[in-house]
A = this chain, B = another copy of it.
Amino acid sequence: MTVDMNALGAAAKVASRVLAQKTTDEKNALLLALADAVDAETPAILAANAADLEAARANGTSEALLDRLALSQARLAAITGDVRAVATLPDPVGEVFNEKLLPSGLKLHQLRVPLGVLGVIYEARPNVTVDIASLALKTGNAVILRGGSETLQSNIALVRAMERVLPKNAIQLIASPDRGLVSELLQLHQYVDMIIPRGGAGLHDFCRKNSTIPVIIGGIGVCHLFVDASADQEKAIPVIINAKCRRPSVCNSLDTLLVHEAIAETFLPKVKIALAERGVRFVDDEFDTEWMSLTLGIRVVKSLDEAIAHIQAHSSQHTDGILTQSDTNAARFIAEIDSAAVFVNASTGFNDGGQFGLGAEVAISTQKLHARGPMGLEALTTYKWIGTGDYLVR
């Protein structure tokens, strides 16, 4: 099956102009219709998913991955419940800000508008298909989706249900497993405004190298906690357990624990026992890996300086924290650690759009332009400058 990516991009651009003119009420009505449409197509979607799972099982896919790919009536209901929740969120589009009258007589303001066309490249889980479609729709953006080949039939069925109720080409799926199409998508800067990769480091590197469209790099967390000499040792242990063990497979989970040498002798045995009881394994010679598992790097450092230097050298600038009773040391840590989220006496697990009160999370960015850290709906918008005058000349 061949896909004309240029035609797909051009169609998305046209759709984006239609979506940009929708009012908040119209977009919310479309979101509810979209949720209803997916609910109504549940049998067809589950049948397509069963076909995906059968093919994946035949390919020797692990049970853990099969579980990530699987949909069920309950999981679909949760997905469409999330869509209905997106309909209740505030719409960032249309916001007027920085209104001013300039000395020239020009009346100027900035107006928040949709980005235009989003390209989203993701792996495995089919919930992302509906999740991203709903966030794009809420913000008036058209979207081109490229899901994993393991869930191609599920994604086709989901998109078929959704597009039934949406403006033409608002959501388009690249319905082919051909990997060359990803490279083509990454070159469509004439039509596509932002690429969001959701997957591992390999996918992000591929996009960074091959895209002529701005890419949101993120989601890779080599995260640190530094236990300062002054930390309350009893209170520190539950924070470390929470950061490491809450969900070891997510990007904000702890990868490396740094402990000040002044307390290492008393504190380390206690924290290691508590972690080992929860199945954590320790390493002391590898500090550049996002473990995604119950492995934890541990290193004793001589000082706050050494802790900061270690983090500067090894962090992916996603989430890093300090446990301390010293305001001075906390202030230095905040000032010198250049990461998307910097925590004082809190678990790394808080770096999350929901926890930050954003209502929705598109991704967690570890790059510095446009959006850093958890990206909410506003990160799917831009602005234009509107200037009005009375036939004004400069």
Contact = CB atoms under 8 A, between A and B. Distances in A.
A342 B239 CA distance: 51
A345 B394 contact: no
Interface stretch (A131-139, A175-183, A378-386): A378-386
Given A102-B356, A391-B238, A384 B342 contact: yes
Interface in A329-352: 330, 334-336, 338-347, 349-351
A392 B345 contact: yes
Interface string A289-324: 000000000000000000000001000000000010
A389 B20 contact: no
A22 to B, nearest CB: 11
Nearest to A387: B343
Counting chain B CB atoms within 10 Å of each CB, the highest count among A115, A239, A241, A356 belongs to A356
A32 interface: no
Contact of A345 (B194, B209, B388): B388
Interface in A211-261: 212, 214, 232, 235-236, 238-239, 241-242, 246
A369 interface: yes
Contacts of A241: 393
Contacts of A106: 346, 350, 355
A233 to B, nearest CB: 10
Interface string A86-105: 00000000000000101010
Nearest to A100: B357
A376 to B, nearest CB: 11
B385 A341 contact: yes
A348 to B, nearest CB: 9
A2 B372 CA distance: 36
A384 B340 contact: yes
B387 A111 contact: no
A272 interface: no
Interface in A170-226: 189, 193-194, 208-209, 212, 214
Contacts of A232: 391
A104 B369 contact: no
A104 to B, nearest CB: 6
Nearest to A312: B17
Contact of A214 (B104, B246, B369, B373): B369
B368 A111 contact: no
B391 A236 contact: yes
A312 B20 CA distance: 14
A62 to B, nearest CB: 28
A163 B173 CA distance: 53
Interface of A: 17, 20-21, 100, 102, 104, 106, 108, 111, 113, 115-116, 189, 193-194, 208-209, 212, 214, 232, 235-236, 238-239, 241-242, 246, 312, 323, 330, 334-336, 338-347, 349-351, 355-357, 367-370, 372-374, 382-394
24 contacts: A100-B357, A102-B355, A102-B356, A106-B346, A194-B368, A194-B369, A214-B369, A238-B393, A239-B391, A330-B388, A334-B386, A338-B384, A342-B384, A342-B386, A343-B387, A343-B388, A344-B386, A347-B393, A349-B393, A349-B394, A350-B389, A350-B394, A355-B394, A369-B382
